Structure 1
Amino acid sequence: MDIAPRSDTLVVPSDGDAGVVRKPFDLLRWYAWVSLAIIVSVAVGLGLISSRFIINESVERDALLTAQFIQSIADAEVRHVAIPNVRTMGELLDPRMDQAMPDVDPDARRKARGEFLDHIAHLPDMLLANIYAPDRTVIWSSNPALTGKVIESDDDLERAFEYKMRVSASYHDFDDARSEQKFVTPPQQLFIENYIPLFDADGERVAAMVEIYKEPHDLIVRIEHGLLLIWLAIAVGAAVVYLGLYGIMRRAARTLEVQQKRLISNETFVALGEVSSAVAHSLRNPLASIRSSAELAQAFDEGPAQKNISDIISQVDRMAQWVRQLLQSLRPLNDEAVPVDLPQALQESLQAFSVPLVRSGVSLDVCPLPSLRVLGHPVLIGQIFNSLIANALEAMEQGGHLRVEVVRQDRRSLTLRLSDTGKGMSEQQQRMAFRPFFTTKQGGLGVGLVLVKRIMERFGGSIRLSSREGEGTSVSLSFRLAKS
């Protein structure tokens, strides 16, 4: 469907300027950018929150399992060497306290401590292990260079001693300024620091603090896979939401645009109808009087004025026909759609133009049409064919070829094309073809195609025009099929 181009700018007068040029508000473009920004922001926020949650939960879970494992080893080694329950592994780890425990067999104490430290030294994925006494002295370390050092200004260590709880943290880069982070093998990526308290027999005092640095490769791989799936799911979900909302908004915008154009068109037709009715009412009586006077003069005058009188009658009839066409094109189309035999309606119109077609030297080629019924009104469907055939005849003044064929058919619609080999139309003429009162014919009124378009749209169909100058014009009519 060809529609006349609309202006891209709106001139709004102001007091200080002659006019301010403003672009029209594009709802679809505004919604596309704003919704994209909102959806991307929400998706990124959800992704960051989900990623942080996955990392934190994974690290906490690994730290809990490590703490449970170390505490279980500590209890098992104490029981294994038959040390009385009044002593715990936390109390046995500091060699400086050996003399303060005369009730504990020295060999059993050394054996339990040695086996526990051996388990600690061979933990999987371990980077560094330190054991602190309550005075923050390193009493054992997998890095011998740290043994005997006093660690100060370590917030995580202080919090673990103060609150008597397990403390864990994750890092991506180690800090050279922290004296306890002296790795024998530096970490490659994410590593985890765990502080695990070992209590005395009463469970009230932290007798020793175990610090474990781990780089759990399997856990890191699983975290990376989890993050990849999270971000992929968020990206796909955001894309689906955006495209879905954009599609709905695009359809709504198109519907609003069509309704706006239809409203403007209806208002235009209403205004033109009122004006046309007033003009027609004012012209009919004078035209009738002029024609009656001319016919009377023609009956009594046999002289040379006969030709002039005939011209007067002819021009009056022509004006009367314009008035009828104008009123017909602007009147409301309230006819109900009924099944119409399309081949019969076409045949009746072609039969009515059989003599003009032969007189104009136009050959006719009608392809066999399927016996189908379309939604419409017999009189209005005939008016469509009459208008298009008349236009084709006027475009082929020197003769030509008119072809009628079905170009597409499905269960719901049928498209019929009328093609002529006339003088054709320019691109600008095609854009203006369906505007009221636009015509390229001398003495034409410019309402034929307007009426055809209104009738087709009234019954749920459409019309499309294509033309090339010097080659001809094709008009495609899409009809809705009636239910059989």
Structure 2
Amino acid sequence: MAIEKKRSFNLLRRFALLSFLSIGLITAVSSFLLSNFLTHNMLQRDAVVTMEFVQTIAQAENTRSYFETDDPGKTKTVFEAFFKQIATMPEVVRANVYNSNGSILWSDDDRFIGHRFSPNPQLETALSGKLAVTSGTSGKSSKPEHVFDQEVPFFAEIYIPIWNIRENKVVGVVEVYKVPLTLFHAIKQGNRLVWLSAGLGGLFLYASLFWIVRRAAQVIRRQQEQLVESETMAAIGEMASAVAHGIRNPLASIRSSAEVALEESPPFRATAEEIIHETDRIEDWIRELLVYSKPPSGNPASIQINGLIQSTLDSLDREIKKRNVKLTQKLDPASPLVHADEGLMRHVLISLIANSLDAMPDGGELTVSSRIEKSDSRVEVVIKDTGCGIPIEQMDKIFKPFYTTKSKGMGVGLSLAKRIIERHGGILRLESEAAVGTTVFMHIPLAR
């Protein structure tokens, strides 16, 4: 039975999705609640002002006795002069007067006089002595009395209790329909501001948290890579020590025997030379493996990078001429000093230049340059060749240990060079194009 490959936990992707949904939901809910709160309070405040005005008139005119009659005709006559003042108030489109039983005693629309509309929770609230207010549109009527002669975009429905102060009871209710366009415009603007500020705040919070988690994910990934690298190096070190101990002595015996055969058996000269060459190659592999398995520590100091480059090129001069490679040097005349270990940096330069020479077996051009990057307080060293280059599909693997494109390599040179440069606080990167060439960029901190 096939075993499914376990998916790795992607912290950034999970956080991006879940935090976006959570912050979006919180933003929407809080905006909705704040909008409702703003709308309710602004309508309530307008209703309180209207109530105080109506109740003041009612007390001044002593209209409480009018609510105790059951004769609609008499009510119409008595209320006409008084409540017409309310019906003609600015923004008022209708006024109804209810008695304590919930029947309409007077209305500016004669069709409603004597009728009783139920259920009407706002009217019941007002009859209990509390101000009641609601809002709506004439196009979406929720009550039978919400019928107007003309279409209105918004209206506020206010139920105002009328008290008999002597007996301390509610004797009736005045219902006022208002179209406060200015108020509704202010409410609309306020709601828009609430949603906009909440949305921008949510986006800012999401972006801030995303940046923090992204940085945390990068740190975790680097720590995981360092942990894997440390475990790998420990395993490689043990393996390299075992290999070196077990193979070097037999290799030395094989090489000695081949050297004897080379001197005493001329017919086997070619075979003996091949044996010596191959044993030397195995010895080089073992030495390279031992060097790679040890952590690159060294003793950093101020060294002149141009001098180090020049001496390294001088030591490889014979190999450069042997391969018919043209050497071009473009070194910074300021002779910058870098903070690095000379032995380790020499190893890096030799490894990278050797790779460039291997990529040009039939000749080519090798360019080595250096320049100061003042903005970053670093020195950039560039090694460029016109060799075979690296295919684009292999570029993401070139710094992995034991991956190589050469038939006679172990694949630890670039990986070790990258480790050394990064341990010095620098950066090593590579650009390449198949059949065009490869360019290696080293950015090394300047000495202070």
Does the alignment reach a TM-score above 0.5?
yes
Over 3 Å counting, the alpha-carbon distance change for 1:130 and 1:175 in structure 2 is farther
Q: Which residue type is aligned with residue 329 of structure 2?
A: V
Flag the 1:453–1:158 CA change in 2: closer, same or farther, 3 A. Answer: closer
- More off after superposition, 223-232 vs 32-41: 32-41
1:348 aligns with 2:311: yes
Pick one of 238, 249, 252 that aligns with 1:274: 238
Secondary structure at the counterpart of residue 20 of structure 1? coil
Counterpart of 1:130, as a letter, is: N
The answer for unaligned runs of 5 or more in structure 1 is 1-16, 79-87, 101-108
Distance 1:315 1:136, change over 3 A: closer
The worse-fitting range, judged by mean Cα deviation, of 193-202 and 167-176 is 167-176
Q: Aligned partner of 1:35: which letter?
A: S
Superposition TM-score, scaled by structure 2 size: 0.89
Structure 2: runs of 5 or more not aligned: none
The partner residue of 1:379 within 343, 346, 349 is 343
Do the aligned partners of 2:306 and 2:370 also contact (CA within 8 Å) in 1? Answer: no
Q: Which of 164, 179, 201 is 1:215 aligned to? A: 179
Equivalent pairs counted in the alignment come to: 443
Report the equivalent of 1:166: 131
Q: 2:83 aligns with which of 106, 111, 117?
A: 117
| 1:98-136 C-alpha deviation (Å, 9 max, x unpaired) | xx9xxxxxxxx97xx665323202211112101223344
Greater relative contact order (Cα 8 A, min sep 6): structure 1 or 2? 1
1:149 Cα offset (Å): 3.7
Moved more, 466-475 or 377-386: 466-475
Q: CA deviation at 1:220?
A: 0.5
Deviation per CA, 1:205-257: give whole Å up to 9, x if none.
Answer: 32332111112111110111011011111111111111221222222222222
**Partner residue of 2:56?**
72
Per-residue CA deviation, residues 35-76 of structure 1 (Å, 9 max, x unaligned), is: 11111111111111111111111111111111011122334x
The yes-or-no answer on 1:200 pairing with 2:184 is no
Cross-structure match for 1:321? 284
Indicate the larger mover: 361-370 or 401-410: 401-410
The sequence identity of aligned pairs, in percent, is 33
Between stretches 468-477 and 115-124, larger displacement belongs to 115-124
Deviation of residue 95 (structure 1)? Answer: 7.3
Give the letter aligned to residue 397 of structure 1.
P
> Residues 15-164 of structure 1: matches in 2 within 5 Å?
17-75=1-59, 77-78=60-61, 88-92=62-66, 116-151=82-117, 153-161=119-127, 163-164=128-129
Residue 249 (str. 1) matches residue 201 (str. 2): no
Pair 363,231 (structure 1): closer, same or farther in 2 beyond 3 Å:
same
State the TM-score, normalized to the length of structure 1.
Answer: 0.83
Matches within 5 A, 1:262-341: 262-295=226-259, 301=264, 303-305=266-268, 308-341=271-304
3-state SS in 1 of match to 2:365: strand
Matches of 2:115 and 2:289 in 1, distance apart?
Answer: 106
CA distance in 1, matches of 2:409, 2:133: 90
Structure 2: distance between partners of 1:242 and 1:270:
41
| CA distance in 1 between partners of 2:282 and 2:101 (Å) | 116
Q: 1:262 to 1:34 in 2, by over 3 A?
A: same
Distance 2:406 2:319 in 1: 18
Residue 82 of structure 1 is matched in structure 2 by: none
Q: Does 397-406 or 172-181 show the bigger shift?
A: 172-181
Trace 1:437-448 onto structure 2 (pairs within 5 A). Answer: 437-448=402-413
Give me the CA root mean square deviation.
Answer: 2.9
- CA distance, structure 1, for counterparts of residue 198 and residue 118 of structure 2: 44
Distance change in 2, residues 1:176/1:474 (3 Å): closer
1:343-402 CA distance string (max 9 Å, x none): 121111112122322232212222132432323211111111111111111221222111
